[in-house]
Structure 1
Amino acid sequence: VKMQLQQTQTQAQTQIQTQAQTQAKSQAKYINSPETKIYSKSKSIYGLFEAKNNIVENDAALIVEGYTDVILLHQEGIKNVVASLGTALTTEQIAVIGRFTKNIIIIFDSDAAGMRASLRGMERLREYNEKLDLYHESNINMRVAVLEEGYDPADYIMRKGRENFLERLDKAVNIIDFTIDMILRKYDINNLNDKLRATDELLGFISTLSSKIVQEECIKKISEKLNLRESLLIEQLLKKSNKKSFKKTLDNKAGFEGIKQDEKAANPLKNIEIEALKILVNGLGDKFYELLDIGPEYFKFDDTRKIYEIIKETFIKNKSDNNQVNFPLEISSDKLEDEQLKALYNMITFSSVNYSDYNLACLEVYNNLKRIYITDRLEETKKKLKQFENFRKELIKKEGEQSAEKLEKVDNKIKELNLRLNKLENEQFKYK
């Protein structure tokens, strides 16, 4: 099999690896040399040393798949182009490119119709979509430019010319819009079954996005394209999130502390905590600040407690940085450690908040959390009191009045617990 070899260099022009382009259709288009202590594919960007000044000048980086595309585009005067060596951009590569520009255009080898038939093209798009949170958090504007079917960038610029290639770049669209369009083109939305399948796939894609703002924008676009109500799409999105992750969290996670829920009804204690989080995310009610300061110990479940802590931390940081807080609160996805937390957060932020009186709702939720917490402490105190009273009886039975010193300690503890019990009962009365 014939191969063409090409070297990859660092920004300082140090050779670190060799890439081969195969001529055989049965093999992968590009074959990289194995990773070593010097060469790491996730950190390396082909052509960056030569392109970086042009990337800064054009305030955009063009990303192609292989080195031949880079070489031929450079020869045609398009010099702000680099290759990701056959993979979607990694965290390390984004950090490097981000020093020169926040605008990235990925160039795909064929148009939407061609990509649907191209396993490599679809796989590459899937890899990029899996990292959307990374690009969003790095403030990267990621767009997609597509060429005509059957052309890679090198072929296209040789046969169609530089001006036509630049026109394709001008038509580049946001990667999320491109993905939505790709999904829609797979179906005949005038056919009911196809429309349902398209909706399901689109909502599945949206559920992977952690930014509430991005999700809402996607819902608006899909609503227009499919002629469906936004409220209906949000309802279906919540159901999808619940099925995938939220229900699994409630039933299986250690944070649920062994309490099982009926398939159709959430645990009422957890519902109260979720309502509290909704109020905090949206900044509602006169009791907002008391609710914010209530403390993590008032949340019985691990996931709701964690989100409460993140909300409070985000509120304090925003207040400190900007001296004001905008609602609803936006939480960075890196704070949400796993898919279950993301699903719960999405459910909280997308659920409608239909209170006729926000102040009353906030007060009721605050009182409920207080009452539940106090009731739990009350039960604990009663158990401890009973244990000490039983211990006192056993002590008298075994040692009689001779154990005066021990009895005094036990009596003091019983007295302390009775005082605590009275205090808790008085507090409980306030929140009934």
Structure 2
Amino acid sequence: MRLVFRARRAVTAAGEGAFDVGVDGETVTAVEPYGTLRGDRAVELGEDVVLLPGLVDTHVHVNDPGRSEWEGFETATRAAAAGGVTTIVDMPLNSLPPTVDVAALDLKRKTAAGRVHVDVGFWGGAIPGNAGELRALHAEGVFGFKCFLLHSGVDEFPPLGDEELEGDLRLLRDLGALMIIHAEDSETIEHAPQPHGRHYGDFLGSRPREAENRAIARVIELARRTGARVHILHLSSSDALPLIAAAREDGVSLTVETCPHYLTFTAEEIADGATQFKCCPPIREAGNREQLWQGLADGLIDFVVSDHSPCTPELKRFDSGDFGEAWGGISSLQVGLPAVWTGARARGFGLADVVRWMAERPAAQVGLTHKGRIAAGADADFCVFAPDEEFVVDVANLRHRNPVSAYHGRSLTGAVRSTWLRGKEITGEPRGRLLVRGRK
């Protein structure tokens, strides 16, 4: 073996403990008890750090090409690497054009080529009128398809109605492909009070839990009817957990994610005009947050991903602080691991739980069996993590493009010391790869 990581603490597929991890080239070749492997070179890790697999974030809006002033492949992947994330899957919208046909996918890949610091895959988009494009996108290796049930925030990515959604689900069932869904009910939101002004409570009232609950119930019914695989994005309403549990008992093929911001922040603490906290669906009350943590403990929520959705500072409307006018999205790609770990350890969870939620399960969902775990045959993707180191988030130290984040000023525990992609530490030159579903 050319390289051996000697870790007094590591979270591997064999469990948590003291391990030597052998690497040859880009691949893990052995995981053995600490002090037993020999190699050409050794990386001795201190007692204050834990060797984790590189995280896998399957919900990232890079916005490139077309809105690269919001973010971009170089800046987004630098932020990912700084946060211990070694693989991202890019969302099909907010870039121009959206990834709804093969030509747009080709353009996105050309834009990303040679600029990424971590490995990057792509979702396709399902919108009205593009059902004929889904098969070709699937053949080109997207990891699945995203749709909305209400206005997405950008006109070029409109929502699917029930009839179109059902038709697409039948097609994706036959392809063996996954549909990932922004599940909020447009009719419920249309009849809710409209968002306005600086008070967060007014915005929260405009996106009630019932909008998520009704949409998730519709998705479950359509999944049951079609036999398709479906995934609920960024769950924020804990009221939907019993629906999810019942659907799984009935054999519906359903997975669910939530995000660090729903597990960290509460509606009660968001100040007037603090539009950096605006996202859709919204951050809800403290009791709701605790029920989401319980959903993770119970296995009803499968994993945690960032929904990194940045924009320029101007679009956050800090001039007016008007939640109705501000862009909805939270920039969190770099701080997701410490945010989740801070909350997890306070509730009695361990690092193995965090690895399961933020590496192993998201990798498995998209078929990246060589990612998200430390085991023989897997990519040598690692995060060297100091779980007891405390710090205060400063946007000046974040690597994404624009200095806006809801986490600014937040005290967190757990710092990423280094990140390794396929056996080499990520330091400067971009050496990430563009991933294709079904290929290593």
- Structure with the largest fraction of helix: 1
TM-score range, shorter chain: under 0.3
The structure showing larger relative contact order (alpha-carbon pairs under 8 Å, at least 6 residues apart) is: 2
The structure that has the greater radius of gyration is: 1
Q: TM-score if structure 1 supplies the norm length?
A: 0.22
The answer to which structure has the higher strand fraction is 2
